[in-house]
A = this chain, B = another copy of it.
């Protein structure tokens, strides 16, 4: 029957609790990267701030950040580390309009895609024994919709490139337009390019699993060759590669962000070595996302979850949900999201290789 975008309803600001509420108070940030005492911190939900008597939705949010009122009278959601001395930071730790701040958790009342009952299910925790049939059906409908009308960002752990089948399933999804952005690390890109050039990952054949003689050099050789070429696109061109995830991104001009970590070899030239600059760049991609799918990476899943609000304000002013999926073989990883309050997420417990095989097959 297809996916229908749930409608968003703003709070009824004509109610007395809103009209009688004071404007938000602010205080100047005392130093660069430091919030004033009593600063308000954002959630993943839509939050409204009463400014000059008017309730205004923060359009571009993320959790755990401060809100700065700029000269245009608008609220901006800024990570504390990015505050500048003197910024007018919203104060207040109540969210029911008492201090001019209102958090609106249930704006999407029509449960078209991921409504109340899902959230209930999620709160219960999910395990390998949860029934996922409906999740697959919904995801298929959602991605078909998002391909045309939304923005799908994939977040990927390194192991994804170890399997020839998963790798080519993902590449086909990119080629077909189901990927508008990719967030990963140095390892995913290096493994995938090793597959493209040598048909191995960490020296093991990605189809037969056979270990190649001296194959442990393959990984390091890829890093070294790409570094010598100066960039991933230059490397792809130099060696005439066209297979796998990264090639598909380059071919389709899908932006990818490779965030550095202390585990990295190499790194590839595109890897962002400063993690806070990497966060800013990731958020730049996630700002456009309407669906985020995280696969087999605790680090990048939590990082992305932190930066992804439960809603997006489209250019025409429409407020819509952002769908967030986390897929991992381990309950522990997907349940971490629950701890962090990402209640709008759908979590699935399975091997991501199989998840992508099934998903690509259904969208074929």
Contact = CB atoms under 8 A, between A and B. Distances in A.
Contacts of A263: 299, 302-303, 306
State the copy count for this chain. 4
A282 B265 contact: no
Contact of A330 (B39, B80, B201, B332): B332
Contact of A159 (B128, B262, B300): B128
A352 B273 CA distance: 30
Contacts of A121: 209-210
Interface string A200-232: 011010111110001011001001100110000
Nearest to A261: B275
Chain A, interface size: which category? 35 or more
Contact of A41 (B33, B166, B217): B217
Given A93-B217, A131-B162, A358-B357, A80 B262 contact: no
Contacts of A349: 329, 351
B276 A93 contact: no
Interface stretch (A96-104, A132-140, A141-149, A174-182): A132-140
A10 to B, nearest CB: 25
B354 A164 contact: no
A355 interface: yes
Given A81-B266, A261-B261, A128 B208 contact: no
A316 interface: no
B273 A275 contact: yes
B207 A262 contact: no
Contacts of A216: 41, 341
Nearest to A202: B339
Given A209-B121, A264-B275, A299 B296 contact: no
Interface of A: 30-31, 33-35, 39, 41, 64, 80-81, 93, 117, 121, 125, 127-134, 136, 159, 162-166, 201-202, 204, 206-210, 214, 216-217, 220, 223-224, 227-228, 259-267, 273-279, 282, 296, 298-300, 302-303, 306, 329-332, 335, 338-339, 341, 349-351, 353-355, 357-358, 361
Q: 4 closest pairs, A vs B, by CB?
A: A133-B165, A350-B351, A131-B163, A129-B159
Given A80-B223, A131-B162, A132-B353, 15 more contacts: A80-B220, A121-B209, A125-B335, A128-B330, A130-B162, A131-B206, A134-B209, A260-B276, A261-B262, A262-B278, A263-B306, A329-B350, A329-B351, A354-B358, A357-B358
11 contacts: A81-B227, A81-B267, A121-B210, A125-B125, A131-B163, A132-B354, A262-B303, A329-B329, A331-B332, A354-B354, A357-B358
